[in-house]
Amino acid sequence: MIKNFFDKLIDKATGGHGRKRGGKRVELGPQAHGINPALVDERAVTVVRTLKEAGYQAYIVGGAVRDLLLGLKPKDFDVATNATPEQVKQLFRRAFIIGRRFRIVHVVFGRGREHEVIEVSTFRANVDNAHSEHVSGNERTAKSQLAGMKHAVDASGRVLRDNVWGTQEDDAARRDFTVNAMYYDPETRVLVDYHGGMQDAQKKRIRMIGDPATRYREDPVRIIRAVRFGAKLSRLGFTLDPKTAKPLQDGIALLAEVPQSRLFDEMLKLLQTGHAVASVEQLKKLGLARGIYPLLDVVVERAEQPFVKAALLDTDRRVGEGKPVAPSFLLACVLWQDVQAGWQQRLARKEHPFPALQAAIDEVFDARIGDVSGRGKLGGDMREIWMMQPRFEKRGGSSPFSLAEQPRFRAGFDFLRLRADVGEVDEPLVDWWQAFSQADDSAREDLVQQLRAEQQKAKKAPRTHQVKKAAAAPADQAQTAPESIVSDTHSEATDTAPAAPRRRRRRRKPGGNAAGSASPESEQ
């Protein structure tokens, strides 16, 4: 009776599409799937075993199963269960419920940098298959879960609410792609497949569960996920199924109804999962180079510029090596062109260099980022990276000591090094700062003294020749000589001007706190 009650409501809410994604449960043993148990993380096995011993269902799920089928050792392991988050939390000493809309549990093993998190989620159902008796228990509970369901799907078919617990079959149906909808029990070594995911994995095909156009209408963000998975798995030879790819271009208009903050987050996932370059190529290949999100349009447009391409490749490299990345660093690289242009315009109007740089940054935030994240921590980190760049040119007195102590010094230095890689600044400047960042206070004093001695020596011999040459140069040429945005405005050369009396700088006493612990492979 309850099932019929749900079926009627579901058919009415989804226009009759609710039953089209149901799959047939297929169980495959070790001989059929060939998964090597040695590739399974023992901590994931522990989570599954603990849940099963408590009387619950539990399986390794998602991308980890796909990778195991391909003979790869997964980086992350997720577990799906019919236990609620509260029930999961009670079984583990270090378990934390996170999330608001979708509550999941992080089970933590180890401490410090060596810790590992196994993510445990409860089987969920979309509104189109929310008939689960697992949660309902009785008709009253079922009715309360579907209260207001007539507003759970809007006129275009977009799902507005789907945070309902369900069965394993429900959970498989609400997942996006067949290769991510398989379940593996590491104890019995049984693989459960509802939608032909194993065959698709063998054929290296990324296929949407159900009708792709309907699934994109339900949640337009799936358009971006299709691009991301296509890029991520392209290195393994996977391609998007034609029926899955066909509605993508037409679906871009649906993204207008998605909150900007969610699109911003999805953009970062595209760029920070180790496949940024492949994601850009995938967007172009699928005809989605423009229209998903304005800032992503800028990334794609500038992806072939040397500085931006170097930043994308560097981000992919760091992710591949298991090193941390920060969105502030990559976005600072992408928008550096705009900051430079605005700064140069203000310098041409004789504005003071540092206020001019601050104003240029504000303008870029307003034009490119808006209120999504531009005024939060991400925006603050980007600002610090940009504001450090002219300060790297000033290596006299106490300036380098104070700069090296800045919290974002390592990110700012990485940015400088990337600029040197594309010829925007000189390599000797980067080499000096790398040596300075690794030295103790005494060695830092020596570096500053050596630099000063070299500058004094360099200005003596050529000074007479330079004066004669300047006197012989045409007046209009002297006035229109181009200025470097960083070097000529902020460089140490301003400290060696012959006519200006030198001020006595306060010297930092040896033995102060050194920031030289920053490694040469600095953190983005």
Q: Is position 78 annotated as part of the catalytic site?
A: yes
- The answer to whether residues 316 and 275 touch, using CB atoms and an 8 Å cutoff, is yes
Q: Is position 362 annotated as part of the catalytic site?
A: no
- The answer to whether residues 201 and 71 touch, using CB atoms and an 8 Å cutoff, is no
pTM, two decimal places: 0.75
Q: What is the mean pLDDT of residues 256-276?
A: 92
Q: What are the residues whose beta carbons fall under 8 Å from the beta carbon of 184, sequence distance 6 or more? A: 35, 59, 60, 61, 64, 65, 68, 190, 191, 192
What span, in angstroms and rounded, lies between the C-alpha atoms of 127 and 145? 10
What are the pLDDT digits (tens) for 294-335?
Answer: 999 999 999 999 999 999 999 999 999 988 899 999 999 999
- The answer to whether residues 300 and 284 touch, using CB atoms and an 8 Å cutoff, is yes
Angle subtended at Cα 189 by Cα 188 and Cα 190, rounded to the nearest 5 degrees: 90
What H or E segment, with its residue span, contains residue 59? strand 58-61
What span, in angstroms and rounded, lies between the C-alpha atoms of 416 and 426? 10
Where does the pLDDT of residue 283 fall: very low under 50, low under 70, confident under 90, or very high at 90 and above?
Answer: very high
Residue 27 carries which DSSP code? E
What span, in angstroms and rounded, lies between the C-alpha atoms of 507 and 398? 6
Tokens of 179: 């290769």
The arrangement of strands across the sheet holding 182-185 comes to: 26-28, 190-193, 182-185, 58-61, 78-81, 116-122, 104-109, 95-98
Residue 514 carries which DSSP code? -
Residue of 7, 11, 76, 421 with catalytic role = 76
What are the pLDDT digits (tens) for 164-189?
Answer: 899 999 999 999 999 999 999 999 99
Q: Is position 67 annotated as part of the catalytic site?
A: no
Alpha helices per DSSP H over 395-491: 399-404, 409-421, 427-438, 441-472, 475-480, 487-490
Where does the pLDDT of residue 153 fall: very low under 50, low under 70, confident under 90, or very high at 90 and above?
Answer: very low
- The answer to whether residues 36 and 68 touch, using CB atoms and an 8 Å cutoff, is yes
Q: For residue 389, give the nearest of 347, 364, 418, 431 by alpha carbon.
A: 418
pLDDT at 125: 85
- For 290-303, give the secondary structure using H, E and C: CCCCHHHHHHHHHC
Q: How distant is the alpha carbon of residue 80 from its chain centre?
A: 24
Q: For residue 419, give the nearest of 305, 313, 307 by alpha carbon.
A: 307
pLDDT at 520: 38
What span, in angstroms and rounded, lies between the C-alpha atoms of 211 and 7? 19
What span, in angstroms and rounded, lies between the C-alpha atoms of 375 and 39? 43
Q: What is the mean pLDDT of residues 61-78?
A: 93
Where does the pLDDT of residue 393 fall: very low under 50, low under 70, confident under 90, or very high at 90 and above?
Answer: very high
What are the pLDDT digits (tens) for 494-513?
Answer: 333 333 334 444 444 444 44
| Domains delineated in the chain | 1-207 (3.30.460.10), 331-464+482-524 (1.10.3090.10)
Where does the pLDDT of residue 473 fall: very low under 50, low under 70, confident under 90, or very high at 90 and above?
Answer: very low
What are the pLDDT digits (tens) for 194-215?
Answer: 999 999 999 999 999 999 999 9
pLDDT at 418: 95
Residue of 41, 78, 171, 414 with catalytic role = 78
What H or E segment, with its residue span, contains residue 60? strand 58-61
Q: What are the residues whose beta carbons fall under 8 Å from the beta carbon of 88, sequence distance 6 or more? A: 51, 81, 95, 105, 107, 120, 122
Judged by DSSP in three states, 216 sits in helix
- Long-range contact list for 285-292, CB < 8 A, 24+ apart? 286/227, 286/230, 286/240, 286/245, 286/248, 286/249, 287/248, 287/249, 288/223, 288/227, 288/248, 288/249, 288/252, 291/252, 291/255, 292/223, 292/224, 292/252, 292/255, 292/263, 292/267
Residue 377 burial (10 A CB sphere; 0-12, 13-18, 19+): exposed
Residue of 41, 176, 338, 414 with catalytic role = 176
Q: For residue 10, give the nearest of 162, 140, 213 by alpha carbon.
A: 162
What are the pLDDT digits (tens) for 423-455?
Answer: 999 999 999 999 999 999 899 999 999 988 888
Q: For residue 176, give the nearest of 198, 154, 207 by alpha carbon.
A: 207
pLDDT at 307: 97
